[in-house]
């Protein structure tokens, strides 16, 4: 499931392969932008902002959002292309394809910031602002913690995996109100630490144990024993997002 760390890692991988190269093919398979051809222009940089990714090419910016199932694949040709492909970029022997992208649009580079102007502080951004993120989080004290953490306007980069894991390590039920958080600054700093430590991994880890099946505290572990107390992990999928928690550790 793509979250801020996955997008950051994706941007770093694309940047490693494409930055400084000239496009030899640009095939956009989204009707609104199908006539756009950036062939012959140089890819200057690839950056992420929360869960958004920008490939800057000349005066244009290729903006994508992975949503639930999207991905970018890059490497020496051939990289497989199928009906899920939304864009193909080639720079000599390098091919990058965007697959099942939830958002793909070509923007004027000078206006790309408008697409992410609504976002809160980026957990993996160079301008990360913990006091502002904490203030955003505390602004609606009656709001459920999980709902607030998943709101990208509060802070950008947290998805459902990190949301559930953060609630566990801070001892709060996902449904508890934000007012229950004694130190919002500490919570957002913990969130930043989690994403920062996972930014080079495809398989994220929040427990400190990277062995298969040991990486997460509660997410995806319904019915299994809590790693701390042994109580069975519970799951609730009645809302928009699935929640996991330990009824003994999270009160």
Rounded to an integer, what distance in angstroms lies between the CA atom of residue 35 and that of residue 24? Answer: 16
Query: Catalytic: which of 3, 112, 147, 165?
Result: 3
> Can you read off the two tokens belonging to residue 149?
């953490």
End-to-end alpha carbon distance in the chain:
27
Starting at the edge strand that comes first in sequence, how are the strands of the sheet with 43-49 ordered?
A: 43-49, 52-57, 60-65, 103-108
DSSP 166: H
Strands (E), 157-226: none
Is position 241 annotated as part of the catalytic site? yes
Give the burial string for 153-165 (b: 16+ CB within 10 Å, else e).
ebbbbbbbbbbbb
Largest CA distance in the chain: 60
- CB distance 130 to 118 below 8 Å: no
Is position 110 annotated as part of the catalytic site? no
Identify the helix (H) or strand (E) that includes residue 76: strand 71-76
Question: What is the chain's length?
Answer: 251
- CB distance 174 to 145 below 8 Å: yes
Query: Catalytic: which of 29, 227, 235, 241?
Result: 241
Is position 2 annotated as part of the catalytic site? yes
> Can you read off the two tokens belonging to residue 156?
């950008």
Query: Catalytic: which of 15, 51, 192, 204?
Result: 51
| Residue of 25, 40, 39, 8 whose CA lies nearest to 97 | 25
Is position 51 annotated as part of the catalytic site? yes
Rounded to an integer, what distance in angstroms lies between the CA atom of residue 208 and that of residue 6? Answer: 18
List residues with catalytic annotation.
2-3, 51, 241
């Amino acid at each position: 499931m793509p979250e801020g760390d996955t997008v950051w890692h994706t941007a770093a991988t694309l940047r490693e392969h494409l930055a400084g190269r000239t496009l030899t093919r640009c095939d956009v398979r989204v009707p609104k932008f199908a006539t756009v051809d950036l062939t012959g222009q140089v890819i200057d940089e690839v950056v992420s902002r929360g869960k958004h990714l920008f490939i800057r090419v000349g005066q244009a910016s290729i903006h994508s959002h992975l949503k639930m199932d999207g991905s970018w694949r890059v490497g020496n040709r051939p990289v497989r292309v199928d009906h899920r492909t939304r864009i193909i970029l080639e720079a000599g022997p390098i091919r990058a394809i965007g697959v099942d992208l939830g958002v793909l649009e070509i923007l004027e580079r000078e206006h790309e910031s408008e697409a992410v102007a609504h976002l809160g502080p980026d957990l993996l951004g160079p301008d990360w602002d913990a006091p502002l993120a904490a203030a955003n989080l505390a602004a609606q004290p009656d709001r459920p913690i999980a709902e607030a953490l998943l709101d990208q306007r509060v802070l950008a980069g947290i998805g459902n995996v990190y949301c559930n894991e953060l609630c566990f390590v801070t001892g709060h039920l996902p449904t508890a109100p934000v007012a229950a958080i004694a130190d919002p600054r500490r919570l957002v700093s913990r969130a930043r630490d989690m994403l920062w430590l996972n930014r080079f991994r495809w398989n994220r880890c929040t427990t400190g144990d990277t062995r298969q099946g040991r990486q997460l505290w509660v997410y995806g572990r319904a019915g299994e024993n809590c790693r701390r107390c042994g109580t069975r992990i519970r799951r609730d999928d009645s809302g928009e997002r699935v929640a996991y928690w330990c009824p003994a550790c999270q009160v």
